[in-house]
Every structure is written in C-alpha cells, then in structure tokens.
A and B are shown apart, each in its own frame.
Chain A
Amino acid sequence: MSYANPDVLADVEWLKKSLGRSDLAVIEVDYDPKLAYEQGHIPGALLIDWRRDMNKQNSRDIIDAEEFERLMSGLGVSNDTHVVLYGDYNNWFATFAFWVFEMYGHKRLQLLNGGRKKWIDSGGELSKELPKPKPSTYKVQKTDNSSRILLDELMREKIGSTSLVLVDVRSPAEFKGEITAPPEYPTEHAQRGGHIPGAINIPWGMAIKEDGTFKPFEELQKLYGSKGVDADKDVVAYCRIGERASVTWFVLKHLLGYKRVRVYDGSWTEWGNLVRFPIEK
C-alpha cells in the first residue's frame, strides 16, 4: 500500500530531472548552514537558516504570517510556486519548515525524501553558488493552527482525555532523563531530565531507513499501531524544541493519514524548565 498522501514526498531522481523548472523552488533548511548549505547545496537551491528565518528573535515562537510573507517574498517564492524542502540533520529542520509552510497554507509543497544525505549519496550535483532570487509578492491567505498545540491547550486537553496520546520522539536516554540534551546541543537543555507523565517513547528515527528515506507504509503502520498510536487517536508529538517531533508529525499525518496529529513545539525545553510541573523518568 502506498502512503496516504504520497504527493508530499519528492524523490531525488525526479528532482535531478526537474531542476531548473521555472515554477520550482528548492529550499535547503539548515540548523547550521556553515556545515551544510555553504559546503555545497543542490544547484539553485535557496537557503532558510532555521534559527534566523523560522523563529522570532524577540520571543520563543515561530514566525508569524507577515514574517512568513516577507521571507517568501525575499526568496522569490510565490503562492503558486512548487516548493521542495530538504536540509541538514536528517531533514529535521526541513520537516519543521514543512509544518510551518503548511500552517500558512502553501499548497504545492514537498519534502525531499532522504534529504541531503540521499541527494549526496545518489550522486546528486552540489554547488556553492548563491542564487539571486527575484523578489516576489507572497500573501498568506489563511493560517491553520490545527497542527500545533501550545502548553495551555495541552494542559487543558491532557486532563481527562482518553483519546489523547503523547508521543515523545527523543532518544530513550533523553526520555528516561539519563541525559538532558543530545550531545550535539549540550548547552540547549532543560533544567530537569525525563518526560511528560503518560508519554510513550517512539524515537523519530524508527520511521526512517538507513539511507535516510521513510520506511514503507506497512512498516510505519505496524511501528505506531503496536504502541497504541492508532488513526483514531488524537496524537501530540514532542521532542526537545519541536524539530524531531515534526518528523513524526509528518509521518503520522501525511504518510499514514491520521486525521488529528499535532506538534507540541514548546517540547521538553519548555516542560522540563517549568516550576512544579510533574515529570516522569
């Protein structure tokens, strides 16, 4: 069986043949462009620097609709541009960007299956040339927050709900509170280790094959179904800052077709820092 919504994935071989199409914008979304985009990117690919471009700088939040419009216009992306996202760290930040693009209603949107790793490994060409996009006029038609849950909503809904399933997608060591952050980001951690009471641990990477692409539908269905994360549940995924959770959100919503999946992007760096909030280890 194929994925519920197979159109959300772009294949590297298809992309190799499609580069240069005038309605296509390939965008690399990086946590650390110096180690990724600047070392070589898909020819013509634009850059979104996740920390700078996807987040507000004066409060902890994703960019608002107006800021998204400015970002898109600067990149020369129009409302009807076909956007393909990919990036560093196993596509984590590209998938987070996908979640934001969808929130602001971008229609023709795909994630490059396998990200940088797959592109490089399959002999894809890389370039260090910086494209010079012609600015466009982008207008957000409608904002849809249905894939996002904030702390106060989570608190309200968690109490007494039998259908809400919290999926902690971090590593088992983070889930158990043995470490407070992955070694790649040692200084971005919470005051306490552990997980939100009642959460189950299904690390994001369990949905991914060795080559960086997603596992087939049946395997994914088995993986989540065997842990009680079914299509009829109301699922909330979280991690440390929301980037890995967006990968699990993408799998559940678009590849498995679950109707109600949300990212709690406050994630552990919010919950694990709150005074008098319960923690399980």
Chain B
Amino acid sequence: MSPVAPLAGRAWLFGDDIDTDVMAPGLYFKAPLEEMARHCLEAVDPAFAASVRPGDIIVAGRRFGVGSAREQAAMVLVQLGVGAVLAQSFGRIFYRNALNFGLPALFFPAAGEILAGQQLEVEPVAGLVRNLDTGREYRVNGIPAHLMDMVAAGGLVPFLRQRLSRPPAEQA
C-alpha cells in the first residue's frame, strides 16, 4: 500500500513530550530492530508494543518525538505497523525521520478530542482525519508539497534510488 493512500486503524493515545528515548531506548541500541521494537514506548504504555496492530494510528499531544535524532524511533513504529502519527506538534528531527521512512506524520490540533481505541480514517495527501465512531471530520495540513514525491516513493531511500537512476539531464 502506498504511504500516501488513505488508511484506517484504531487510535492509540499518548500525551505531551513523548521523546525518542522512550520510543527507542538506548539500552537496546545494539539489539536487532525487532527486539528494540518490543520495548517501544514501554516506559509510558507497557501494553503498546505487544498490542498494536498493523494500520493502527498514534494520536499524541505536543512535541511527539522530542529529543535525540535516533532514526530508530521512527523505524520501530514502522516495524510495528503503525499507519500514521497524528500529533499536536512534533520534535523536528522525528518529524523529518518519520516522513523519510514513509510514515505519514500530520499536525493534528484536535488530538484531545480522540478517545483511545476509536476507529480513525486518515487521508495524508488531502489532509483529512475522520473519526468513524463519532462521524466527526477534521481538516488538517497534509504532507508538505515539497515532500510529497519522497513520501509517495515510500521514503527517502526509494526516492533517492529513483532520482539516481534517472539520467543527469532529467535531474533539473
């Protein structure tokens, strides 16, 4: 499925200041990604890593992904199958990392109106969040235009592959 296609999943709620150390703890830096993923967010929600299902959506408060530049914070979410992250604001490097791995990250001011476990539908390009349980619809900013090609390609590495395989004349 394309990372920019509409997606649907259950909401997992997190508060403010979820930092990258709790998503990808330094103690598991040398472990394989699968093992690090099992400890993702365990310090704030021990049930998350074992219970999250592919397509589920993280809904968070302010500064989601604040702190360290570690890309594993975004990688473990992708590894666990998280479909999108909706947050009131993001740590700046995490935001870039998420999009670079093809994980839609959208600014969502109304995060506080979502309840845990509600079924959400997200259109990352159009910038639309639909709460299927309440019927409410929210307009948000979609993925920035200058990053659309990169996210649509599945992230930075596939995008670079496309770009590098084109003859130089086309790389305007």
Q: Is chain B found bound to chain A in the same assembly?
A: no
